Amino acid sequence: MNIIIFGPPGAGKGTQSSFLVNKIKMFQLSTGDLLRAELKSGSELAKQLKEIMDAGKLVSDDIINELIEKKISDPQVKNNIIFDGFPRNLEQANALDGMLKKYDQKISAIINLKVDYSILVKRISGRISCSICKKPFNEFFDPPIEAKNCENNNCESRELIKRSDDNESTVSNRLKTYDEQTLPILDHYRSKGIVKDVDAMQSINDVTSQIEAIISDL
Q: Which stretch binds Zn ion (CB under 5 A): 62-70, 98-106, 153-161, 162-170?
A: 153-161
- Assess 160 for contact with Zn ion (CB under 5 A): no
User: How near is the Cβ of 129 to Zn ion at its closest, in Å?
Assistant: 8
Residue 190 is among the residues annotated as catalytic for this protein = no
- Among 13, 122, 158, 196, the one annotated catalytic: 13
> Virtual CA dihedral for 37, 40, 46, 50, nearest 10 degrees?
100
To the query of whether residue 36 is one of the catalytic residues in this protein, the response is no
- On whether the CB atoms of residues 127 and 144 are closer than 8 A, the answer is no
Q: How far apart are the first and last CA of the chain?
A: 9
Distance CA 180, CA 35 (A): 25
Catalytic residue among 71, 78, 88, 135: 88
Q: Which CB atom, from 62 or from 146, has the smaller least distance to Zn ion?
A: 146
- Cβ of residue 153: shortest distance to Zn ion, in angstroms? 9
Contact 119, 125 (CB under 8 A): no
Q: Please give the residues from 73 up to 112 whose contact with Zn ion meets the rule CB under 5 A.
A: none
Cα dihedral 59→9→82→201 (10° resolution): 180
Contact at 8 Å (CB) between 181 and 174? no
Minimum distance from residue 204 beta carbon to Zn ion (Å)? 22
Largest CA distance in the chain: 57
Closest contact distance (angstroms) between CB of 102 and Zn ion is 49
127 included as an active-site residue: yes
Q: Does 88 participate in catalysis according to the annotation?
A: yes
Residues 121-150 that bind Zn ion (CB under 5 A): 130, 132-133, 135, 150
Cβ neighbours, 10 Å, residue 183: 14
Catalytically active residues, by annotation: 13, 88, 127, 163, 174
Residues of the shown chain interacting with Zn ion in the complex, contacts defined by CB under 5 A = 130, 132-133, 135, 150, 152, 155, 158
